[in-house]
Each structure stands twice: as structure tokens, then as C-alpha cells.
Amino acid sequence: MALNAGDILMSYFGNSPKTTLKKKNDVVTEADLKVEKILAGRIRKAFPEHKILSEETVKDTFGPDDMVWVIDPLDGTNNFSVGLPTFCTSIALWQGDTALIGAIYTPVYRDLYLAERGLGAYKNGHPLQVRTNEHERLTLLAELPLSTLETGQETHRSLYELLPHISHYRLLGSAATDLALVASLPGCLSYVTHCKAWDLAAGSLIASEAGARVTDLDGNAVTLRSTNFLAAHPLLHAHIFPLTKAHA
């Protein structure tokens, strides 16, 4: 499903897809909606008893025992809409507070990340193992909405606390991609606030199955109700977590 979604996205990418403003600094494109419709249709056909939670239009009501597919048809819509290549499709299957399957596909780079609970994480078929950087050069991947510039002073204080401890800071505009990179690149950590279920549903499993520690800013395992998270190699997480918690 993820590969098919990527093909559809690439058919629109760079061709000025029709874009609608959902709210300030947040858009949806015709590509988002088409991919969502196709993915939801395939899931409904294959698993009619399952529920779906998607970013754009499909938000089934579900209980703790239901099997729930959590979809972001296009994570990084703002990037996609202006021709920037960092975006992906994210698909996950959860039951209650447990992620079972996760898939992220970055179609520009043709990288497919897959994970199944207890069976590890893979990038293009190769096993992933989270790594520290031997030179201790840390890259922080943070996602802070523009709206927090006006209302999230505490959030930004947390970020300022982190900066002396890292070598590079990148805001990629795609939380799911951030988590995939934590799993696959040495010395990466992801710090995300004001997130939704579809931002972390697949990536949190991929990162954790690769050996990363992924928690909310209270130190708890992330769930579909989490609104923030820190993901990193366990040693990096232990070092950085107290700095984020101070102003969470």
C-alpha cells in the first residue's frame, strides 16, 4: 500500500497540485485526498471489521480492543505543495495502546521503512539498528509548529536547552520522516511537540524496533493519544530527556 501511495504522490509532485488551506499554516492537496481515499478503500475491502484513523477525512470511532489503521497519506504536505522533497506516506496498525505494524515510504528517495512488533525494523529490506555517532556529533530533528512562536514559549525554552548539546539542528517538516531517520542514521534524535496520532503511529514502532527509546515528554510509552515525543538511541535519550522535561 505504501509503495502505491508513493507512486500516486509522485504523479502530483512538482505539478502544482490543487491546494486548500485547512487552517493557518496548514494545507491539504488533492494528492492527500486521493491517496487517503485509495488506502481507506483497500483497507475496508481487506479488513472490513477494522477501523481507520486518517489525517484528512476518515476518522472512525474505535474502542481499546479494535484494530485501527492509522494513516497519514502525505506527511509533509507543506513541503510537497512547494516542491520540497521531504515528505512521506505513513501507515500503521494499532490495537489499543500497542503498535503492531508500521510502514513509512519516502517516494522521492525510494526508501521503504517497515516494522512489525517483535520482529525488528527494516529499510529497503535491510535490518535497522539505531546507532550513536562515534564522534558524538548529534543531529536534532525537531518539529515545532509556527503557531508555537506566539503561544509556545515553554516549548521553545526546551529547544534552547537542547541546542548546546547538539551539533546540528534540522526542522524537516515531517515527523514520520524524523522517526525513520532516528532508526537509520547515527546520532539522530527527534523532538516533536503538538503532534497527532498519525504523526507517530508508524514511526514510533519503526524507531523502537530498531532499538531506539521513544517516549512522551513525561517519560511514558507513546500512544495514539500522545501529543509530544522524544526518540533517540537509549543512551542519547537518557542524556537529553531531562532537558526536555524541564519545560514540557
List, as residue ranges, the binding site for Mg(2+): 55, 72, 74-75, 199
Residues 6+ positions from 48 with CB-CB distance below 8 Å: none
Residues 6+ positions from 129 with CB-CB distance below 8 Å: 210, 211
| Backbone angles phi and psi of 193, in degrees to 5 | -120, 165
Q: CB-side exposure of 127: number of CA atoms within 13 Å?
A: 6
Contacts 24+ apart (CB under 8 A), 26-34: 26/77, 26/78, 27/77, 27/78, 27/81, 28/56, 28/77, 29/74, 29/77, 29/80, 29/81, 31/73, 31/74, 31/80, 32/56, 32/73, 32/74, 32/77, 33/57, 33/73, 34/8
Contacts 24+ apart (CB under 8 A), 47-52: 50/93
Residues 6+ positions from 242 with CB-CB distance below 8 Å: none
Strand residues in 63-133 grouped as ranges (E): 67-75, 88-95, 98-106, 111-116, 121-123, 126-127
Q: Mark the binding-site residues, compressed into ranges.
A: 55, 72, 74-75, 199
**Is residue 11 helix, strand or coil?**
helix
